Amino acid sequence: MIKISLDPRTKLFMIFAVSFIVMVNAITPLEWGIRIMVTLIPILLLVTEGKYASAFRFTVFYGASLLLLKYCISESSTGIFSAILVGYCGIVAQFLPAMITAWYVIRTTKIGEFMSAMQKMHVPDGISISLAVVMRFFPTIKEEYSSINDAMKMRGISLGGGKVTKMIEYRMIPLMFSCISIGEELSAAAVTRGLGAPVKRTSPYELKMKAADFIMIGIFAVSVIIFITAKYFR
Amino acid sequence: MNDKKLKAKDFITIGIFSALIFAVEFACGMLGFIHPYIVAAYVVLIPLVGSIPMMLFYTKIEKFGMLTIMSVLLAIVMFVTGMGWLGGPLIIAAGFVADLLAKKGNYKSFKLIAISHGVFCLWICANYFPVIVTAKDYRKNMLEGGYSAEYCDNLFRAINGKTIGVLLILCFVFGVIGAFLGKAVVKKHFEKAGIV
């Protein structure tokens, strides 16, 4: 399969476009169509990057919640079960497109590329470095959390038994310990590579907008425009 | 080089703690979809749970700007996850004021840190603003978006123009309480280990 590698700036634009689109509620079939389309594009891109498992998972989740929303839930449904169901389908249908895009961007952008793109857009160093760390850190937090969770399960401290405060404390504190020590290592490594030196940084990544980038930007810009006109200039 | 200037190490610290705070926010946010009253209860939940990383963060702050940058990051993340742009400036404003307050105490005075944490927690309320400002549209959108009428009614009973004042005050109060709680936890665990 051909690999489409997009410019980080295109990816950022995609994130903004998608989060704008998910904020505005889709009502007419056309709007739903666009929304589903902007969800499918990142999924397809994930496939081209060879991330079949996550692409499949996202498709199933999104499809299931859309079907449930369409056929099982109406304005008049009441009761705790439907409240939960509505809640989860609502969150999935509403926010999953943004999450898929964010996931795609995080998984496929190298930090070096990201930094170089940010530098080209003249974003202040403070924001770009911190954002890069946030991006890099989500997977780490997840990983650390699951190992801490395993350890706590072994000790019998889980959601079912025991007190809630204990549960929070015994997960939160070790997580923070490990995050802080990882952070120390990270900053040592970054400083060694010259981050924060008072010179202009160079990057091994040559960023260039290619045809694919312009096509993507075009598609997303058009969908945003359609959404705005459908919403405010009806 | 000017000592007051933020260095790469500070930016990395900001990034780590922002990620932690956001993880807390996300975990609490998931609960909100069970019942709309929990959405209103964020003002209690997030300051209390989030206070632990925040207090540890406060011990690492020495320079002006770290809290402000953190609030900018939170605003960006909130936007990306679809919370809307209405709250963004408010989040940044809360972060900036909190930063000024903590700076007054040179980032050491606990009294000012507690107040500053209270102010910083107001960013949670900023996420309610789209609900209030555009209440009518929001309700319509939610109904058309598939939420049940029951959920909407409860949500708007809990969050509206009248209750926002109460929510803001609660947010601030629990922010201050959270500061004490967080400090206790930091003292219990981190000072012993020599990390602070």
- A69–B146: do the CB atoms touch at under 8 Å? yes
Q: Which residues of chain A have pLDDT under 70?
A: 1-4, 23-28, 70-92, 157-164, 196, 231-234
Report the residue from A78, A91, A136 with minimal CB separation from B148. A78
Q: Exposed, middle or buried by CB within 10 Å (0-12, 13-18, 19+), for A124? A: exposed
First-to-last alpha carbon distance for chain B, in angstroms, is 25
B81/A130 CB distance under 8 A: no
Q: Does residue B194 belong to the interface with chain A, where contact is any CB pair within 8 Å?
A: no
Q: What is the pLDDT of residue B133?
A: 63
Q: 10 Å Cβ neighbour count for B191?
A: 11
B146 and A134 within 8 Å at the Cβ level: the answer is: no
Q: How far apart are the first and last CA of chain A?
A: 42
- Residue B1 has a pLDDT of 37
Q: Which amino acid is at A61?
A: F
User: Is B15 at the interface with chain A, CB within 8 A?
Assistant: yes
Cβ contact (<8 Å) for B146 and A90? yes
In this complex, the residue of A69, A87, A137 whose CB is nearest that of residue B15 is A137
Cα–Cα separations (whole angstroms), residue A231 to A14, B97, B186: 20, 35, 49
CA distance A125 to chain B (A): 9
**Is the Cβ of B192 closer than 8 Å to some Cβ of chain A?**
no
Give pLDDT, residue B145.
Answer: 58
A contact test, residue of B22, B70, B81, B148 with most A CBs within 10 A: B148
Mutation test of the interface with chain A: which of B16, B81, B140, choosing the one with the most A Cβ atoms within 10 A? B16
Does the structure's ipTM exceed the value 0.85?
no
pLDDT digits (tens, 9 = 90+) for B73-125: 888 887 776 565 667 788 888 888 888 888 887 777 788 888 888 888 888 77
Rounded to 5 degrees, what angle do the CA atoms B186, B120, B3 make? 75
Can you list the residues of chain B whose pLDDT is less than 70? 1-4, 30-40, 81-86, 129-151, 158, 160-162, 195-196
B98-104, long-range: CB < 8 A, 24+ apart: B98/B67, B98/B71, B99/B64, B99/B65, B99/B66, B99/B67, B99/B68, B102/B58, B102/B61, B102/B67, B103/B64
Q: Output B180-185 pairs: Cβ under 8 A, ≥24 positions apart.
A: B180/B114, B181/B48, B181/B51, B181/B52, B182/B51, B182/B52, B182/B53, B182/B54, B182/B55, B182/B56, B182/B117, B183/B55, B183/B110, B185/A169, B185/A173, B185/B52, B185/B55
pTM of the model: 0.77
- Quick one: tokens of A233? 């200039």
Q: How many CB atoms lie within 10 A of CB A20?
A: 20
For A65, which residue in chain B has the nearest alpha carbon? B146
pLDDT for the residue numbered B33? 61
Q: Is A195 in contact with A136 (CB distance < 8 Å)? A: no
| Closest CA in chain A for residue B188 | A173
